[in-house]
């Protein structure tokens, strides 16, 4: 049975049983404590925590998930995957243990023609929490399982919690006996390779407290939940390899074809040798995970989600190179994932061009990284050879890994080729320290998870009405006042509090648009609104500074939006849509927005693109945007289902979450159609001028545009006009003649610099002869040590030092030159002739001897070292220290 069919049967089964089918949430987690969606229940977490009221009593989904905690084990075993699909059914105070067991058993064992999976009931085992006698009884009554195929296990195995205080409960895990060829008899407690876990049923019935110790189960049970819930998770990939009659997930229909592609590209056979097999599995897993992450709006970067994606892609590329494939592989792999997964995830086809471009760009960047990292490695290798050492410090390997993205296995391989070893112990220690810091940070975030239960009662009173699309003033009632996380009756002058109204015209920050400014007035007092945010995407919460009197819960108020602020906000948000449409017009439909921010007078738009815009493209983009403004295009707002919006060609912002009914903003008909909840102008001419102010890179394959909008754009252009006028006056030309005059001045400056360089070269050449003639023999070595004139460039110092050394190649010689810089700074270069190196004189050692005299440091190779200091007055003392060191070597 194909994996797509497994998904379909699962959802159909639970839909027939009265469950609402909920589409998979994005892999980008809405939970601030984690980067990615890591479990099927994650989108329903607010319901289980009691932060939101579930809109349905029972639900089902097949959730795409990514877990990267065991990324280093991927491929080493066949049990680890980063991307997987978790099928689940959920009950929110509806059915409980009996219902969950009956649903699961029926689906697993029902014949294929009845919509089931037709698993042999005689090969199914279950485990239960050690004291859950009720579950044992239900398994026997509902499923007819004999007592010997029901095993009790402790809290570490069969008790579930989120890892923090909150809902928890016992669970039952369903296992399938794969047969004696896979291990020993005795059920799951004896062998979890033979007895494969396929489904976990969590009976969420208790509330746990803070952890009392280091163990997984060291926490108190505080009491029962107000209502009992069900959360289950069936591993789609695990069930797939059982139903497809293969040994592991890498041999299923969604991964084995990727391995086959790599067999063809590499000429290596899968299954012939363990090391190669690991590389095949890494490629298959990481290519799929990376593709799915890009599809959900993640772009490669150096932190957070972007770093994880970058690591996945680079591990896949590295594994391909170790298999002997030197040509780019990501375009082929991404296309393979699309072909295998698009039946369940059609966006892989519709958005393929963008996905493929990002993956390809990241691979190209990594290949450049390998080249630059190799150069750094070669420098370290040469220094070790000069020092007659064969162990590469772990800190060097860690730097290559952490700053260059250089995989440790590549460092180990190159070190072995150079006859070196790597201090792996130090490397692993530094890696562990980094992981500990990351883990501590994650724990802090998890422990700091905001207790939003105070808002539950406010939201249960109904979703506040947002009136700001049609008015700037609204009469409403104070539904609640929150002070330091607790409900309060009133707030007095000087306090900063959070206020929830039943109706408000003030826009809460979302969709890239900054929150409105304004005020809330009552008969008893007045407050300035300094921020507006949403809790659980529904509850509008105003942060208010009480400026006069007091605001009282339950009282009537007048909420007002600052009209100037809203005007600027509307201009900027509509301007963002216009710039996005113009961008796609200039660069093509693949230039999709991947993030934005706008506030009065300013907009910022990030978009997927792998090269800087040319001056012509920037000019064309700015003109296209302003032509749209001048055309006075109509702005129309509509509402519809996501399917209707998609049929209109509406663009959704990556990483955003949308309701079933969406708001569609259209500017100029089909020219710009986007899903958007923000505030907008009524005609494009109301946006005013748009002036691009910056275009830059914010990550691999990601660019950022910034622009001034409306009156701010006018101010920007006026300032530039004034600047041009001032320059024209200084140069005594007309503004139109400025480019020519500046170009002429620049050329004259270049010519003057060339003349100065020629004069310096002639002076240095003359000086070099005198310096060689004045060389003194110290400790059997000819020494040239001199301070050069102030202003001598660092390159000139190095050039002169190497030239002087060249004149004394026939004898042991040392050249040390010092050049004062700005203030008290000084730079220096030490060059040592080959005969001097042969008798043990090394440039780096000499630098160590005299550098303290000028408050500096430096280093380099045995024959050439350089550095700098902060005290130019110490040059005479440094020369003396150099002489003393050479003399001491001879004694």
In a domain, 878, yes or no: yes
Radius of gyration of the chain (CA): 35
Q: Which value, to the nearest 10 degrees, does the dihedral of the CA atoms of residues 275, 279, 285, 289 take?
A: 140
- Predicted local confidence at residue 443, as pLDDT: 46
Distance, first Cα to last Cα, the chain: 85
Give yes or no: residues 148 and 67 share one domain: yes
Residues with Cβ within 8 Å of 449's Cβ and at least 6 positions away in sequence, in order, are: 32, 33, 164
Instruction: Give the three-class secondary structure for 208.
Output: strand
In a domain, 751, yes or no: no
Pair 130, 95: CB distance under 8 Å: no
- Please state, in angstroms and rounded to a whole number, the distance separating the CA atoms of residues 565 and 475: 20
Pair 781, 888: CB distance under 8 Å: no
- Tokens coding 438: 């990351």
Where a domain ends, among 246, 279, 299?
A: 246
401 is in an annotated binding site: no
- Tokens coding 568: 């600027």
- Predicted local confidence at residue 455, as pLDDT: 82
Pair 413, 406: CB distance under 8 Å: no
Give yes or no: residues 593 and 634 share one domain: yes
- Please state, in angstroms and rounded to a whole number, the distance separating the CA atoms of residues 611 and 703: 8
577 is in an annotated binding site: yes
Number of structural domains found in the chain: 6
Where a domain ends, among 336, 369, 402?
A: 369
In a domain, 753, yes or no: no
In a domain, 436, yes or no: yes
- Predicted local confidence at residue 535, as pLDDT: 86
Q: Is 153 exposed, middle or buried (0-12, 13-18, 19+ CB in 10 A)?
A: middle
Beta bridge partners, 638, equal 664
Q: For residue 449, give the DSSP letter.
A: -
Give yes or no: residues 607 and 652 share one domain: yes
In a domain, 761, yes or no: no
Pair 727, 738: CB distance under 8 Å: yes
Where a domain ends, among 672, 687, 719?
A: 719
Biggest CA pair distance of the chain? 106
Give yes or no: residues 502 and 594 share one domain: no
Give yes or no: residues 196 and 313 share one domain: no
The domain containing residue 343 runs over which residues?
Answer: 255-369
Give yes or no: residues 340 and 353 share one domain: yes
Pair 551, 493: CB distance under 8 Å: no
Give the residue ranges of the chain where pLDDT is below 50. Answer: 442-450
- Tokens coding 644: 């209707």
Give yes or no: residues 344 and 469 share one domain: no
In a domain, 665, yes or no: yes
Among 784, 796, 773, CA closest to 846 = 784
- The CATH number for 228's domain is 3.30.930.10
Tell the residue number behind the tokens 């509902």, with chain if given.
142
- Please state, in angstroms and rounded to a whole number, the distance separating the CA atoms of residues 33 and 35: 7
- Please state, in angstroms and rounded to a whole number, the distance separating the CA atoms of residues 260 and 249: 14
- The CATH number for 477's domain is 2.40.30.130
- Predicted local confidence at residue 210, as pLDDT: 79
Pair 64, 554: CB distance under 8 Å: no
Give yes or no: residues 30 and 104 share one domain: yes
Instruction: Give the three-class secondary structure for 503.
Output: strand
- The CATH number for 840's domain is 3.10.310.40
Beta bridge partners, 560, equal 473, 519
Q: What is the chain's length? A: 891
SS3 sequence of 370-410: HHHHHHHHHHHHHHHHHCCCCEECHHHHHHHHHHHCCCHHH
Strands in 44-107 per DSSP E: 58-66, 83-92
4 is in an annotated binding site: no
Give yes or no: residues 487 and 431 share one domain: no
- Predicted local confidence at residue 792, as pLDDT: 73
715 is in an annotated binding site: no
Q: For residue 511, give the DSSP letter.
A: T
- Please state, in angstroms and rounded to a whole number, the distance separating the CA atoms of residues 872 and 375: 33
Instruction: Give the three-class secondary structure for 877.
Output: helix
Predicted structure pTM score: 0.65
Among 878, 760, 766, 887, CA closest to 817 = 878
In a domain, 756, yes or no: no
H or E stretch at 136: helix 133-138
- Tokens coding 361: 């760009």
Instruction: Give the CA distances from residue 260 to residues 253, 286, 313, 343, in Å, rounded to whole numbers and listed in that order.
Output: 11, 15, 19, 20
Pair 458, 498: CB distance under 8 Å: no
Give yes or no: residues 9 and 136 share one domain: yes
- Predicted local confidence at residue 452, as pLDDT: 63
- Predicted local confidence at residue 450, as pLDDT: 44
Specify whether the backbone of 87 is left (phi greater than 0), alpha (psi in -120 to 50) or beta.
beta
Give yes or no: residues 146 and 285 share one domain: no
Give yes or no: residues 122 and 207 share one domain: yes
- Please state, in angstroms and rounded to a whole number, the distance separating the CA atoms of residues 99 and 188: 24
In a domain, 759, yes or no: no
Tell the residue number behind the tokens 């391909």, with chain if given.
320
Among 208, 211, 212, CA closest to 223 = 208
């Amino acid at each position: 049975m194909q994996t797509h069919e497994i998904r379909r049967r699962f959802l159909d089964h639970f839909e027939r049983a009265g469950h609402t089918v909920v589409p998979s949430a994005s892999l980008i987690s809405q939970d601030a404590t984690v980067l990615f969606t890591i479990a099927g229940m994650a989108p329903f977490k607010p319901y289980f925590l009691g932060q939101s009221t579930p809109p349905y009593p029972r639900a089902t989904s097949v959730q795409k998930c990514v877990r990267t905690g065991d990324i280093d084990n991927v491929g080493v075993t066949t049990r680890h995957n980063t991307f997987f699909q978790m099928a689940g059914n959920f009950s929110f105070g509806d059915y409980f243990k009996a219902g969950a067991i009956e649903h699961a058993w029926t689906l697993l064992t029902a014949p294929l023609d009845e919509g089931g999976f037709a698993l042999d009931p005689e090969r199914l085992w279950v485990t239960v929490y050690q004291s859950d006698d009720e579950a044992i009884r239900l398994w026997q009554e509902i499923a007819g399982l004999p007592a010997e195929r029901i095993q009790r296990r402790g809290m570490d195995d069969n008790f579930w919690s989120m890892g923090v205080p909150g809902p928890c409960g016992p669970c039952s895990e369903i296992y399938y006996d794969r047969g004696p060829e896979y291990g020993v008899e005795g059920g799951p407690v004896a062998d979890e390779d033979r007895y494969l876990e396929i489904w976990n049923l969590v009976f969420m019935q208790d509330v746990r407290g803070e952890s009392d110790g280091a163990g997984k189960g060291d926490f108190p049970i505080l009491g029962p939940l107000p209502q009992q819930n069900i959360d289950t998770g069936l591993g789609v990939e695990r069930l797939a390899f059982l139903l497809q009659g293969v040994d592991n997930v890498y041999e299923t229909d969604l991964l084995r074809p990727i391995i086959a592609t790599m067999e063809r590209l590499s000429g290596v056979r899968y299954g012939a040798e363990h090391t190669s097999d690991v590389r095949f599995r890494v490629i298959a897993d990481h290519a799929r995970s990376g593709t799915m992450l890009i599809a959900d709006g993640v772009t490669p970067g150096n932190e957070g989600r972007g770093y994880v994606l970058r690591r996945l892609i680079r591990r896949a590329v590295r594994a391909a190179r170790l298999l002997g494939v030197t040509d780019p592989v990501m375009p082929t792999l991404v296309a393979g994932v699309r072909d295998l997964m698009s039946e369940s995830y059609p966006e892989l086809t519709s958005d393929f061009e963008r996905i493929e471009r990002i993956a390809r760009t990241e691979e190209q960047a990594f290949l450049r990284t390998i080249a630059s990292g190799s150069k750094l490695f070669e420098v370290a290798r040469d220094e070790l050879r000069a020092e007659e050492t064969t162990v590469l410090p772990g800190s060097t390997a860690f730097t290559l890994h952490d700053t260059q993205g250089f995989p440790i296995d590549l460092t180990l391989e190159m070190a072995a080729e150079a006859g070196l070893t790597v201090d792996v112990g130090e490397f692993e220690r530094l890696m562990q320290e980094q992981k500990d810091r990351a883990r501590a940070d994650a724990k802090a975030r998890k422990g700091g998870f905001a207790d939003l239960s105070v808002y539950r009662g406010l939201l249960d009173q109904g979703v506040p009405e947002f009136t700001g699309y049609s008015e700037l003033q609204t009469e409403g009632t104070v539904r609640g006042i929150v002070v330091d996380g607790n409900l309060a009756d009133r707030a007095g002058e000087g306090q900063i509090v959070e206020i929830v109204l039943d109706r408000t015209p003030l826009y809460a920050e979302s969709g890239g648009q900054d929150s409105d400014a304004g005020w809330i007035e009552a008969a008893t007092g007045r407050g300035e609104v300094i921020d507006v945010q949403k809790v659980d995407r529904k509850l509008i919460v105003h942060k208010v500074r009480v400026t006069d009197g007091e605001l009282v819960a339950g009282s009537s108020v007048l909420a007002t939006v600052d009209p100037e602020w809203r005007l600027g906000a509307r201009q900027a948000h509509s301007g963002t849509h216009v710039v996005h449409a113009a961008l796609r017009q200039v660069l093509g439909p693949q230039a999709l927005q991947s993030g934005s921010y706008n506030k009065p007078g300013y907009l910022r738009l990030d978009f997927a693109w792998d090269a800087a815009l040319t001056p012509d493209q920037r000019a064309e983009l700015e003109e296209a945007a302003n032509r749209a403004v001048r055309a006075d295009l109509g702005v129309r707002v509509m509402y519809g289902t996501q399917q209707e919006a998609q049929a209109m060609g509406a663009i959704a912002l990556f990483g955003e979450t949308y309701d079933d009914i969406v708001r569609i903003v259209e500017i100029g008909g089909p020219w710009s159609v986007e899903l958007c909840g923000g505030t907008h102008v009524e005609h494009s001419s109301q946006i005013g001028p748009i002036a691009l102010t910056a275009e830059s890179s914010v990550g691999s394959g990601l660019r950022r545009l910034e622009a001034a909008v409306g009156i701010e754009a006018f101010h920007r252009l006026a300032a530039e006009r004034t600047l041009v006028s001032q320059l024209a006056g200084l140069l005594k030309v007309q503004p139109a003649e400025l480019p020519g005059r500046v170009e002429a001045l620049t050329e004259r400056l270049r010519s003057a610099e060339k003349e100065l360089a020629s004069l310096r070269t002639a002076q240095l050449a003359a000086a070099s002869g005198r310096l060689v003639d004045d060389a003194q023999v110290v400790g059997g070595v000819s020494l040239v040590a001199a301070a050069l004139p102030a202003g001598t460039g660092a390159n000139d110092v190095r050039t002169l030092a190497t030239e002087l050394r060249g004149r004394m190649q026939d004898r042991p010689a040392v050249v040390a030159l010092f050049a004062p810089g700005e203030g008290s700074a000084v730079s220096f270069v030490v060059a040592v002739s080959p005969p001097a190196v042969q008798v043990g004189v090394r440039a780096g050692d000499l630098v160590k001897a005299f550098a303290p005299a000028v408050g500096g440091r430096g280093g380099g190779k045995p024959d050439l070292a350089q550095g700098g200091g902060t005290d130019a007055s110490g040059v005479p003392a440094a020369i003396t220290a150099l002489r003393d060191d050479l003399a001491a070597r001879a004694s």
